[in-house]
């Protein structure tokens, strides 16, 4: 009888950050370097993979709204099989694995298979985008908290009640950071306008932290027109709230910034 012990693998969920490879944490770099198999999401900057071992296998498993994606069940099966075969699997995700990265779902599947894992957080694009504009997400006078919310509901889910969220944001002085909201922008903005003033400041940041970052500063009532006029597309984050007034290019009329803010 073969008594050879089965190799013991492991899995690490790693946040690759918003795009700029210099925003990786040291812990993320170490995990990437030690991986034998990297499963890489679509929005991960290729420059991040420079930290991988030359012998590591790199498999791109794109997950991006509106585009052809690798089925989540297939990714889960790949991770579980590779770990059981003794590999160090790094699941590399844009931003942070636990902020709209399906990290929670993957953790559940791995644990159900008896696999423990480590999570390495990454900087999320909502934070990086606002920081690039020189503005905060919270402020003692303007924002007592921040809400990260997705504009892309799961099939069969009614999604966010934007009017109710807007009323809560107004009453509690909250900043709204909306991910994956471009395709549903008209629905989102019309809902928000039911609870927030039309002059509420808004920032839109596409490709946050990357050299090709583009942004616009506007107001809630002008949001959809601004997006169309400036040609801003996914992936973009939309930040709604008075903290946007802290952006270096903001003025009283809510004029758009005409170039990338260095």
- 254: Cβ contacts below 8 Å, ≥ 6 apart: 199, 201, 217, 218, 219, 222
Cross-strand bridge partners of residue 12:
90, 118
Q: Could you tell me the two tokens for 29?
A: 């770099």
Active-site residue 42, yes or no?
A: no
Is 173 a catalytic site residue? no
Q: Which of 20, 76, 96, 180 is catalytic?
A: 180
Mark whether 242 is an active-site residue.
Answer: no
Token pair in block for residue 111: 């644990």
- Please name which of 194, 137, 186 lies closest in space to residue 165, comparing C-alpha atoms: 194
Q: Which residue among 41, 76, 93, 227 is the active-site one?
A: 41
HSE value, Cβ hemisphere, 13 Å, CA-based, for 116: 1
DSSP single-letter state for residue 19: S
- CB atoms < 10 A from the CB of 184, how many? 18
Q: Which of 20, 63, 76, 130 is catalytic?
A: 63
β-partners of residue 147 are 176
Where does residue 58 rank: exposed (0-12), middle (13-18), buried (19+ CB within 10 A)? middle
Closest C-alpha to 63, from 109, 105, 122? 105
- Which of the residues are catalytic? 41, 63, 180
């Amino acid at each position: 009888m073969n008594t050879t012990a089965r190799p013991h693998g492991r899995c690490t969920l790693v946040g690759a950050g918003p795009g700029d490879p210099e925003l990786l944490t040291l812990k993320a770099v170490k995990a990437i370097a030690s991986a034998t198999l990297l499963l890489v999401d679509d929005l991960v900057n290729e420059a991040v993979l420079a930290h991988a071992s030359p012998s590591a296998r790199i498999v791109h498993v794109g997950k991006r709204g509106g585009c052809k994606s690798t089925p989540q069940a297939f990714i889960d099966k790949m991770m579980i099989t590779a770990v059981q075969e003794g590999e160090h699997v790094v699941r590399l995700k844009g931003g942070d694995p636990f902020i709209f990265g399906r990290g929670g779902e993957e953790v559940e599947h791995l644990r159900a298979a008896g696999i423990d894992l480590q999570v390495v957080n990454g900087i999320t694009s909502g934070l990086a985008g606002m920081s690039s504009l020189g503005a905060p997400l919270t402020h003692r006078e303007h924002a007592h908290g921040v809400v990260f919310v997705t504009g892309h509901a799961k099939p069969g889910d009614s999604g966010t009640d934007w009017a109710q969220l807007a009323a809560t944001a107004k009453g509690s002085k909250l900043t709204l950071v909306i991910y994956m909201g471009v395709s549903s922008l008209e629905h989102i903005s019309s809902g928000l306008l039911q609870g927030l003033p039309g002059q509420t400041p808004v920032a839109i940041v596409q490709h946050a932290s990357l050299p090709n970052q583009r942004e616009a500063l506007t107001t809630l009532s002008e949001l959809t027109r601004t997006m169309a006029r400036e040609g801003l597309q996914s992936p973009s984050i939309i930040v709604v709230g008075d903290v946007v007034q802290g952006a270096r290019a903001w003025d009283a009329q809510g004029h758009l910034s005409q170039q990338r803010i260095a």
